[in-house]
Amino acid sequence: MAPSHTMRCCKKGLNWIPVLFINLVIGWSYYAYIVELCVCKYKLLFFRQFKAARYLVVFHIFFFMFTWSYWKTICSRPEGPSKAFCLPKAEKELYEKEERAEIQQEILKKVAMNLPVYTRTPGGAIRYCDHCQVVKPDRCHHCSTCERCVLKMDHHCPWVNNCVGFSNYKYFVLFLAYATLYSAVISATVIQYFIKFWTKRLPDNHAKFHILFLFIVAVMFCISTLSLFIYHLWLVGKNRTTIEAFRAPVFSSGPDKNGFYLDFSQNFTEVFGDQKTRWVFPIFSSLGDGHSFVTRLVHIDPEQANAVLQQNGKRLVLFSTQESKPRVFLKIFF
């Protein structure tokens, strides 16, 4: 037990290395930009009075928003399923004693009838986590690194040493946005001195090496975060997680990669909320509770659907089809 506990502690410690690396780069970039470039004694000062104030204000705004959203992503504890998704005591005892998989599924189906879960495993079974001992809500997955189930799990990010999911997905997208803007501001204002470095018009001192590496790191960082930001904006527009982009969620009718798609506006407000003044700040404003989500097409009773959606403060309009098996289309108004 002791060696196992020691190994787990070492592993958790090592997981913080990428976060430490990123923070060292951020700290160095601040030092190189403010001290070595702006106020260094070697006359590399490219700011003059009003221009200096403008550049420094813009720089510090993006620096503050970048670090704020980054640490909000790190410090936001991933939310897991509520106790309502745990098996009742009687059913849990039956499930643990039963060895036949088909009987276990019958027990899970009985419990799931009273829960807003409409997705299944690829084999059509109820999604159940044996490690956490809960029926998995829609879009919930177990993270082996965090050792817990995470609501609307997107992915586990080593650069924040945290799971990105329902509780912090907005923070993560803002982190990518402000990281891109922060590095873009540095690149745009340092490029002229990067050119002077190659044309040997800078004083021969250590400050020019800070400028050289600052520009290179900023450009590389900008390209990588911009590509990730564009990808996650696409995911937000499609109302998909990274996991769902690679593996379509399975409903009772089969896999449907657009199962949670509503329209761009409603997909966006589901993540960023309906208060526009909060969109640009890393303050939680996502809609819903993370346990139930509106689906484009589900086979459920309309009254049950309304009961589930009312808990999330959403209104439901039902449309029927002419098929032999009635289907319920859900259109949501926020």
Averaged pLDDT, 68-97: 93
Q: Where are the domains of the chain?
A: 18-79+158-305, 83-136
Over the stretch 53-70, which tens digit does the pLDDT of each residue have?
Answer: 777 888 999 999 999 999
How far is the C-alpha of 193 from the C-alpha of 187, rounded, in Å?
10
Over the stretch 313-324, which tens digit does the pLDDT of each residue have?
Answer: 444 333 333 333
**Contact (Cβ atoms closer than 8 angstroms) between residue 95 and residue 86:** no
List residues with catalytic annotation: 157
3 alpha-carbon distance from chain centroid: 34
Over the stretch 244-296, which tens digit does the pLDDT of each residue have?
Answer: 999 999 998 889 999 999 899 999 999 999 999 999 999 999 999 999 998 87
How far is the C-alpha of 187 from the C-alpha of 273, rounded, in Å?
32
Over the stretch 215-254, which tens digit does the pLDDT of each residue have?
Answer: 999 999 999 999 999 999 999 999 999 999 999 999 988 8
How confident is the model at residue 49, as a pLDDT? 52
Over the stretch 106-161, which tens digit does the pLDDT of each residue have?
Answer: 999 999 988 999 999 999 999 999 999 999 999 999 999 999 999 999 999 999 99
How far is the C-alpha of 90 from the C-alpha of 292, rounded, in Å?
25
**Contact (Cβ atoms closer than 8 angstroms) between residue 246 and residue 284:** no
Residue with tokens 């930001």: 229
Residue 305 confidence (pLDDT) above 50: no
Closest CA to 327 of 253, 221, 255, 243: 253
Residue 37 confidence (pLDDT) above 70: yes
